[in-house]
Amino acid sequence: MLCGCAQLFGLDETTRGTPPATSLSFQRVSVGARIVYAPQDLAGSMGTYLVADDASPGGLSRVPAAQAELGRWTAPLTAAAPILFDLPDYPKPLQRIFDFPEAEVKGLYGVMEHPSPQPAPAGATITVNATLDAAYTGTERFELYVVGTWNSIALNAPAVNTLGPIVQTFAATAMSNTITGRPHERITSQDGAVVLRYDNLNILRGAFKAAPFDQTGTDTITGTMTSVAAQPFTFAIDQADVMRRYSMVRPPVGNLTMSWSVRAAPGAQLNNDNGPLLAAGAPTDATSVKSQAGNPFAPDWPSTALWSTQATRIYTPPSAGLPVTLVANMSERALLADGLQMKLPAAIPSRITLVGTVLENDGVTIAKPTRAVEVSFAADASTTLYQLQLFKLVPNMAGTALQLEHKVGANAAAPRFLLPPELFEPGSLYTLRAIAVAGGFPGLGAGDLTQRTIPCSVSFVDSGVFTVAP
């Protein structure tokens, strides 16, 4: 047992004015039509360092962090320690843990937005007046996509064998936002509104980018499409290896799906592929994806390929009587180029272990924790960054199934995590999602998570469902 002397577990009791060495800083990165960096104000967020200490309740001494300067938390510690914190997520802050061996850690808080977003004008309408680049054949589809507010809407087709124009007026609130989930925001001159024409194979064939504007409430987007010259591309995959790797997941998963997409992505350098679709489909060959895509928005929005695979399972806990869908997933993002090898290098985590119990089966019961809870998993040497998410299983709004409610997400330099015991509520159901990341973080060894590179591969698996004993 550690004694009460603060210096033995990293607390700095000196009063000589030396700046505390332990810190966590965040930059807010707004991903819209362009990427904008700014310090993240942490005044409304909470950060607490968790220092292992047998003499403290739960085995953790909790040291509050304070915002010493804009975007930077510090605490009176002389050594690195995990920090539990939140950030201003929508609709409510999410708890996170950073656990790295460096005393000074730097992170990015990425938000899909233009800087300083404001609500859309009440009752706002948008009119699209779009002339086609080629006569409508009766098989194409059309879309308005706003990069920055991240809204989109399907547009009505014109008469067959005409160039239109497409003329359509709609309420701004009719646009869909599946990326941010936030209420509709005002379109500004920082955003990129594009009108898109796709063939029946989901390949972009025509587009125009509207002149920048600040939304007033009654706005018109006008333009004439230009044909998009789609170029052939090929990237290598390995379906046999994908199936082999999923066959090793425990608990077993099935219902395997595989898909690919290419998007014009302003956040490509951050390993983010949100943006107008250029092409998409499912693989028709076991060893390669062959298609074509053109990008009229390059180089500002680079062509970014995503190769995604997923397998699922369904479990119905007897205590709840409702099913829950659990997931295993392997994906990789890369800039589209000749000779890509999309072989999903991130290992699927295995042997997810909670306080000594390997969660390879559903229905495990653990005692209510009174001390810090240790979680670990296995992953091979390809892993750059280890992540863990704890989800509580709760009924959905319709009461027809269980859904995953985020409790905490952890990032670490090793596949071992200590979670505060109060996260585990007696009588509740949980699953752990173990995540392995390969590539993408060249500065991780120095505690710098602000540097990002692409390609990057991510694999994750949901553990067996477990119950905390009452």
Q: pLDDT tens digits, residue range 312-347?
A: 999 999 999 999 999 999 999 999 998 899 999 999
Helix/strand/coil for 28 = strand
Closest by CA to 272, choosing from 453, 463, 424, 25, is 453
Judge residue 34's burial from the number of C-beta atoms within 10 Å of its C-beta, 0-12 exposed, 13-18 middle, 19 or more buried: middle
Which DSSP category does 41 fall into?
P
Q: Is 228 left (phi over 0), alpha (psi -120 to 50) or beta?
A: beta
Q: pLDDT tens digits, residue range 212-240?
A: 999 999 999 999 999 999 999 999 999 99
Question: Which CATH class name applies to 125-227?
Answer: mainly beta
Q: For residue 58, what pLDDT is reported?
A: 86
User: Is residue 320 a contact partner of residue 362, using CB atoms and an 8 Å limit?
Assistant: no
Q: For residue 18, what pLDDT is reported?
A: 55
C-alpha to C-alpha distance for 383 and 413, rounded to whole angstroms:
9
- Which stretch of DSSP H or E encloses residue 241? helix 239-247
Q: pLDDT tens digits, residue range 10-32?
A: 333 333 455 446 999 999 999 99
Work out the mean pLDDT of the chain and round it to a whole number.
Answer: 94
User: Is residue 459 a contact partner of residue 436, using CB atoms and an 8 Å limit?
Assistant: yes
Q: pLDDT tens digits, residue range 142-152?
A: 999 999 999 99
Domain limits, the chain: 6-112, 125-227, 232-468
Q: pLDDT tens digits, residue range 128-172?
A: 999 999 999 999 999 999 999 999 999 999 999 999 999 999 999
Dihedral sign for Cα 157, 163, 169, 172, please.
positive
Closest by CA to 32, choosing from 126, 130, 151, 143, is 151
Q: pLDDT tens digits, residue range 174-215?
A: 999 989 999 999 999 999 999 999 999 999 999 999 999 999
User: Is residue 260 a contact partner of residue 304, using CB atoms and an 8 Å limit?
Assistant: no
C-alpha to C-alpha distance for 297 and 226, rounded to whole angstroms:
12
Q: For residue 162, what pLDDT is reported?
A: 98
- List, in sequence order, every beta strand (DSSP E) within 265-369: 277-281, 288-293, 303-315, 324-335, 340-341, 350-354, 357-358, 364-366
Helix/strand/coil for 451 = coil
Radius of gyration, alpha carbons of the chain: 25
